[in-house]
Amino acid sequence: MHIVPPSSSNTFQQSWITSGRILFLIAVSGLGAIGLVVLSALWAGAESDSAALDRQRQLVNARLLEQVDQVAHVIGQFGSGYLTRVYPAARSSGRSSSLDALLTAAAASGISHTAMSAFGYDQAFVVDENARLLMLADAKTEKRYRWMKPLFLPLLQDAKLAVNQDTASTDPTPSAIAGHLSSTARPNRAFANLMRLEGRPTIVGVVAINEAPEGQPQTMRQFLIVVRFIDGPALDELSRQQGLNGARFARTADADENEVAFQINATANGEPIGFIVWRPDLPGSRVIGRLMPALSIAALVIAMLFSVLLVRLRSSLGELKKSELHARQLALHDVLTELPNRALFAMRFEECLADPRNSTERSAVALLDLDRFKAVNDTFGHAAGDELIRMATQRIRALLRPGDTLARLGGDEFAVLLRDLKEDQHLPAICEAIVAELGKPFPLLGGEAVARIGASIGVTVVPDTGRNADDIMRYADVALYEAKMGGRGQWRVYSPSMDGGRNARDILKHELREVLARGAASPAGASQSDPPANRPDFGSLEVYYQTVHRAKPGYSVSGAEALVRWRHSHRGLLTPASFIPAAEEGGLIDALGFWVLREACRAACGWPEDTFVAVNVSPAQLRRPNFAEEVITVLQESGLPPSRLELELTESSLIEDNLDVYTVLKSLRSQGVQISLDDFGTGFSCLSHLVRFDIDRIKIDRSFVSQLGTKANGAAIIGAIVALSRNLGISTTAEGIETEYQRDFLAALGCTDLQGYLFSKPVPLGELDCFQKAKNGDELFPIVPSANA
């Protein structure tokens, strides 16, 4: 045992005491200074919080008043617009009855529905001046109105008095009224008040919606009453705009200690109708919250000096352990998603195959590939691509069972190991769920961009296809290839016939190459000479045309879209979906595209001069450096003016190689060629494309048109696209119109052109009766009969 000499012990003890005193003095001084700083910060933070809270209350009050004014303004315009449209129509029809007689119960219901669907009101009623309900309504709506009616009466009385005053102040002579209505609507005052309805804070607006014809007395006023509750989506919008954290509505001021309550008063009598409660944004408290950890750390530094060696030792051991765990994580997991990587997936798959308990259990391996992922990277950058990979991982993982394995093999490729498939329906259900989930939009970069990608899945089942890991993975890859060739956004289970499918695709590419080498085809309707004896006959290509119609009375023909068909000698008439993928894979899309362009330009030369022909252009064609020169050459050879040619591009065409595509399109537009953007809103929509590439026309996808009358979102999306196009001076064509309701709605909404089976299916050139009649002088641009007729 080593004994410390007494002198040394005393010296050490004295030194320790001295050091302790010095440390104590330093600690006390430091704590005192920190205490003063803390007190000063608390006082400054409290003052800042008080000022911020007052400002938030002022903003909330101003916003509520603004919403009331907005409701009055919107329904005022609605009422004026309704009178402006309906009054001249009644006057021109020669009716002597007043307009309030024109407003039937069904029409009143239509006005109510329009107010709710188009302007987002929670409830709308059409009543007479005695507050009687005029519109068709179910029992629930009538009961609801009876409860609300007594509260509507004061506001309805104010609106009736205001309209009568306006009527009295207007020149009663028929000529004066007629001249006023021809230029602008008559004064139509609207009122809106804050009040409590059904125990909820509500904005109620009233506006007159009928007017007697010129020279006739007003028999009965009719009014539109709209209701917007401000404790639901409206409160959420207010919360987002004003930054009100956790905003909610309460009937009493039941705010917690971390919340504030703002009283809402009724407009008419100033009585309280409720409170908006939220957690206020207090900058002073936030700053103090950020400062306190630092101050606390500073106060603990003195104490930590005495235990620094122990902390250091423990920290070193902890870092060593973390480093070991991290190394193992990197070896077997993907860095971006933290999923198992290819090596770990292979290990688990081998374990699954080697486990004797699984010798008879059904398992499955699915290879998953994200569609159009490269376009997201090229458009929005690798940061967005990484974010998309992480979001896709989360969506897939949420659909799997705890015992399933999801791995990232690299890039946008994933693998899924599904063990113990006891139910035959589980595999289809999970594959369909993954395809559906990945087909939904992905908000990227904090909501600044939205990507739609989709996924393709190839599946192989164990032990149906054997128990060799390499063969199973190859079979899954073959099934994945089939899913992609089938149009993407699909899933396929491997079958031995798929190996022969590749040979079938090679045969189809060879036959198409022979058709194009033979001059492709003759124009639709023309005879074709027999092929040479040494070359087989695989049929001919034809161009079909689907007419486009102006969205004006009469719906005259404005042009037609060229669509290629392959009349195969053995397979029959093939649509583009059957052979376009083979053309792209075999490098034949350029030759096919220019053949269609030449035939369409030649055909359009025989059409009336104010019509156009639209031709689809693939991304591969746009990437050709001399694409613009080739198009101009085709126009010169056919004699078709450039202004009558419209090239239809997909949004994916603008995503890749932006600079080259921009140069090509700029050259074409300088010659007068029109450019349209097909299927707008279904791909990687970017508003900058509309301006940067100087687009002339937007084609609204049929998926939005089909929702009209069934989903409110369809009308909202189409309305937004049409409004955007109108502001940018861009034409709009709505595709897929199959009903008269869709036609009339889109025309009223402001679409410039319409296209769909209601007017005509794609037909050969010889069956375009509308153009033939125009050339014969019978009728200029008659409507093509409906395909259903």
Cross-sheet strand order for the sheet of 405-410: 405-410, 413-418, 363-370, 455-462, 491-493
Q: How many CB atoms lie within 10 A of CB 211?
A: 27
In which residue ranges of the chain is CATH 3.30.70.270 found?
Answer: 332-495
Q: Cα–Cα distance between 392 and 409 in angstroms, integer? A: 14
Q: Cα–Cα distance between 192 and 67 in angstroms, integer? A: 9
Structure tokens at 157: 């009385």
> What pLDDT does residue 688 have?
63
Q: What 3-state class would DSSP assign to 404?
A: coil
Could you tell me the sign of the dihedral formed by the alpha carbons of 442, 444, 448, 452, in that order? negative
pLDDT at position 231 over 90: no
Does an H or E element contain 704, and which?
helix 702-705
Residue range 118-129: mean pLDDT, rounded: 86
> What pLDDT does residue 88 have?
53
Label the pairing between strands 491-493 and 455-462: parallel
Structure tokens at 141: 């709506």
pLDDT in tens, 143-169: 888 888 888 888 888 877 777 766 655
* DSSP annotation of 341: -
pLDDT at position 615 over 60: yes
Cis, bond preceding 463 (omega within 30 deg of 0) = yes
pLDDT at position 412 over 60: yes
Could you tell me the sign of the dihedral formed by the alpha carbons of 469, 474, 477, 483, in that order? negative
pLDDT at position 17 over 90: no
pLDDT at position 200 over 60: yes
Q: Spelled out in words, what is the top-level CATH class assigned to the domain 332-495? A: alpha beta
pLDDT in tens, 444-487: 888 888 888 889 999 998 876 667 888 888 888 888 878 877 77
> What pLDDT does residue 209 have?
83
Least confident of 111-120, 243-252, 567-576: 243-252
Band of the pLDDT at 602, cuts 50, 70, 90?
very high
pLDDT at position 524 over 80: no
460 near 483, Cβ under 8 Å? Answer: no
Q: Which residues contact 767 (CB under 8 A, 6 or more apart)?
A: none
CA distances from 223 to 128, 461, 571 (A): 6, 66, 64
pLDDT in tens, 616-639: 988 878 878 788 999 999 999 999
pTM: 0.43
Q: Cα–Cα distance between 181 and 88 in angstroms, integer? A: 7
Q: How many CB atoms lie within 10 A of CB 271?
A: 10
> What pLDDT does residue 656 have?
52
Does an H or E element contain 205, and which?
strand 200-208
Question: Percentage of residues in the chain with pLDDT exceeding 70?
Answer: 75
> What pLDDT does residue 414 have?
95
Structure tokens at 614: 């639209």
Of the candidates 671, 677, 665, the residue with the CA atom closest to the CA atom of residue 634: 671
Count CA within 13 A, CB hemisphere, residue 223. 30
pLDDT in tens, 497-511: 776 555 566 777 788
Cross-sheet strand order for the sheet of 190-197: 123-128, 222-229, 200-208, 190-197
Band of the pLDDT at 547, cuts 50, 70, 90?
very high
> What pLDDT does residue 263 have?
82
Q: Phi, psi at residue 456, to the nearest 5°?
A: -120, 140
First and final CA of the chain: distance in angstroms?
113
Does an H or E element contain 450, and which?
strand 449-451
Band of the pLDDT at 644, cuts 50, 70, 90?
very high
Q: Cα–Cα distance between 401 and 385 in angstroms, integer? A: 26
Q: Cα–Cα distance between 40 and 44 in angstroms, integer? A: 6
Q: What 3-state class would DSSP assign to 390?
A: helix
187 near 176, Cβ under 8 Å? Answer: no
- Comparing 776 with 382, the larger pLDDT belongs to 382
CA torsion 384-385-386-390 (nearest 10°) is 100
Q: Cα–Cα distance between 489 and 532 in angstroms, integer? A: 42
Label the pairing between strands 245-250 and 491-493: unpaired
Q: Cα–Cα distance between 557 and 547 in angstroms, integer? A: 7
Band of the pLDDT at 598, cuts 50, 70, 90?
very high
pLDDT in tens, 695-754: 889 888 888 888 887 777 778 888 888 888 888 888 999 998 999 998 999 998 889 999
Q: Which residues contact 343 (CB under 8 A, 6 or more apart)?
A: 331, 332
Architecture of domain 541-776: Alpha-Beta Barrel (3.20)
Question: Angle at Cα 122 formed by Cα 255 and Cα 152, nearest 5°?
Answer: 90
Cross-sheet strand order for the sheet of 272-279: 245-250, 272-279, 260-265
Q: How many CB atoms lie within 10 A of CB 667?
A: 15
pLDDT at position 67 over 60: yes
> What pLDDT does residue 359 have?
54
In which residue ranges of the chain is CATH 3.20.20.450 found?
Answer: 541-776
Band of the pLDDT at 16, cuts 50, 70, 90?
very low
Which residues are bridge partners to 434 per DSSP?
none
Residue range 510-520: mean pLDDT, rounded: 79
Q: Cα–Cα distance between 205 and 412 in angstroms, integer? A: 53
What's the mean pLDDT when you consider all of the chain? 77
* DSSP annotation of 535: S
pLDDT in tens, 741-756: 989 999 988 899 999 9
Amino acid occupying residue 345: F
Q: Cα–Cα distance between 319 and 697 in angstroms, integer? A: 61
> What pLDDT does residue 501 have?
57
Q: Which residues contact 396 (CB under 8 A, 6 or more apart)?
A: 368, 406, 414, 416, 434, 437, 438
* DSSP annotation of 307: T
Burial (CB count within 10 angstroms: exposed 0-12, middle 13-18, buried 19+), residue 621: buried
Amino acid occupying residue 649: L
